[in-house]
Amino acid sequence: MVPNRNSSIVVTRTMVEIVATKRTTLYRMLEGSTLETALTEARRESDDDFTVTDLTMEHRPARLVAGSIATSAKWANDVKILTGHSVSLSNSSPGAALLIQDMDKIIWALTWGTGFHFLDSEQIDFGFGSRVVARSALPSEVKSLTKTVLDHRARVDRSSMPNGSTIRDLGVDGYGEVVSRIEAKAVIGDLAVGDKVILLRAADSLNVPLAKSPERLIRDLGVLAALSHRPVLPGLESLEQLIALKPQDSRVPALDDKLIDALLSSQTQRLGVSWPHERLDVYGPVMSAKVTGLGDRKRRVFEQAPEISDLIEWFADVPRQEILDRLRTVKIELHSDAEPQSNTLVSTPVPLRRWLAFEIEDDNQRFCLHDGNWYRMDDQYLARIDERVSEILAEPASLTLPPWGQEKEDAYNKRAAQVLSGYCLDKKLITTPLHSRGGIEPCDVFVAPGVLIHVKRGRQSSDLSHLLAQGLVSTDALARDENARSAWKKRILEESDGAIEDAQLKEVILAVGSERPVTVDTLFTFTKVNLVKQFDALRYLGVQVHVATVSPPPQD
């Protein structure tokens, strides 16, 4: 039988089309970018080292930037100093970037070598890569990821499993974690590479096999654009539930404007002061907070952190265009004495912007300011957090604390300890090899055999964030560190005059003094996130966690 030559040619072309691909670094630029603005100013026109060429690809506008810069080896002078001999060597740093505008006016950029330096970082869509992975990866074939954990330790975790696993197995629980880099196997059948399993690497770009021919490359870009609008695959939801916006993101200026509006307004329901434990390196008890950088020489010292009403007063007469700069230059210092001195500083000064908690809905999306940075939150993610927090708040504590009137926190702690037949440990620190610099406060009130109570006045909903962090740090240390547990038992033995020889750790009560009950609606989203993470972490250690609202005494 003689083979059909035309059919053979078709098959051959199909095979070549599938094979003719190469792993490529691909960027998607933000909507509104152009072939001009997508590039840095230095790469928008040709010069002695680089050429800029406008062209068309499959009837679409495109621009190619290519070139190389030769630089002398920086270590040549070191060689001369050590040997007395001069060496003349140089490095060549070649690179290229190909920009293509699609039918929807979106700019795509393929880069080679140092070509990624040619792109204006302010115009890059940093979430594009993770969006593709979330809609195409095989959920059990995630090979590695990098995540930022938004808790009081502000750590960055990098995990890998060469044979592949799930996101959960790699340590992502979906609460307050931003995945910034991921590597996973995927199948995107409509790409030129076909139905074969491919490896995706996503960060601010996407590294993926793409067609080498112009016509098929344009089709590949269309496939990826369409894929970005599909639903997220089951098991990969956490990749998009919390997205950090880069400072250069085009949405940030508008969000900052809304922050300024809130600071200049009397409507502050979703604006508060929240302790930035991600930035604070507190190594001692906090007795006061000092505000610096306002430029008016007025002394501003607070028992804890200032309230949002104080900030609104400070900015009332500040020109609108100067407010964002003031948020960066004004700083809050924490001190171990009610009268701050240079030798009482117990933390690094932190810019005021990082103390703000703010939430806003814009274009049917929820954005939150946390630790000075903006985050976009998925509605399903918010609903899941609210459900978990509701469950946690519904669990009653084992003890009922006495009403809390106008008395200060230390006075209330002493009275509560007396009423509950417990012991007041407010500001009574313990030290361990890991906490020798300032020590840790186990709790405010201890009730035998194993209830630790942390107390905080809930003037603002954001006040709970400090209470949560305080409870997590101390309880985590007591549960995991034998030295801390030994020092704590010794402290209780002394406080009880020998009556309690074996202080236990069974329950932590986070007591919030407030006229209104603590509910899902009264908490900032990141406070909810930290509550869920603390609850899960301590339950894993066998410790019960409860939140209790301490109401004022009834009016006569």
- pLDDT digit string, tens, across residues 338-375: 898 888 887 778 899 988 989 888 877 889 998 888 98
What pLDDT was estimated at residue 148?
75
Tell me the per-residue pLDDT of 379-399, one tens digit each, with 9 for 90 and over: 888 888 899 999 999 999 999
- As a whole number of angstroms, the distance between CA 544 and CA 531 comes to 13
SS (H, E, C) 168-202: CCCCCCCCCEEEEEEEEEECCCCCCCCCCCEEEEE
The CB-side HSE value for 43 (13 A sphere, CA atoms) comes to 25
pLDDT of the residue at 7: 31
Stretch (H or E) spanning 82:
helix 76-83
* Range with lowest mean pLDDT among 92-101, 276-285, 493-502: 276-285
Residues of the chain with pLDDT > 90, as a percent, come to 42
Average pLDDT, rounded, for the chain: 85
pLDDT tens-place string over residues 169-206? 877 766 777 788 899 999 999 999 998 999 999 988 99
Q: CA–CA distance from 48 to each of 66, 71, 362 (Å)?
A: 11, 14, 45
Q: Which of 175, 52, 225, 272 is nearest to 528 (CA)?
A: 175
Q: What is the pLDDT of residues 80-110, one digit of tens each?
A: 889 988 888 888 889 999 999 999 999 999 9
Helix%, strand%, coil% for the chain, nearest 5: 30, 30, 40
For 368-389, give one letter per residue: b (16+ CB within 10 A) or e: bbbbbbbbbbbeebbebbbebb
Give the model's confidence band at 17: pLDDT under 50 very low, under 70 low, under 90 confident, else very high: very low
In this prediction, residues 444-452 reach a mean pLDDT of: 94
pLDDT at 160 over 80: yes
The pLDDT of residue 152 is: 47
Identify the pLDDT of residue 460.
61
The pLDDT tens digits of the residues spanning 58-81 come to 999 999 999 998 877 778 888 888
**CA 145/CA 125 separation, integer angstroms:** 19
| pLDDT value of residue 182 | 92
Residue whose pair of structure tokens reads 């801390």 in the numeric block:
484
Taking 70 as the threshold, does the pLDDT of residue 447 lie above it? yes
Side-chain-side CA neighbours of 58 within 13 Å: the count stands at 14
Does residue 536 register a pLDDT over 90? no
Whether 556 shows a pLDDT value over 90: the answer reads no
Task: Say what the pTM is.
Answer: 0.68
Stretch 35-47: mean pLDDT: 94
Q: Which residues contact 127 (CB under 8 A, 6 or more apart)?
A: 240, 243
Lowest-confidence range among 31-40, 310-319, 452-461?
A: 452-461
In this prediction, residue 456 carries a pLDDT of: 87
Confidence of residue 127 (pLDDT cuts 50, 70, 90): confident
Q: Do the Cβ atoms of 320 and 281 come closer than 8 Å?
A: no
pLDDT at 275 over 80: no
Q: How many residues does the chain have?
A: 556
Residue with tokens 């979430």: 127
Q: What is the pLDDT of residue 16?
A: 40
Give the pLDDT band of residue 242 (cuts 50, 70, 90). Answer: confident
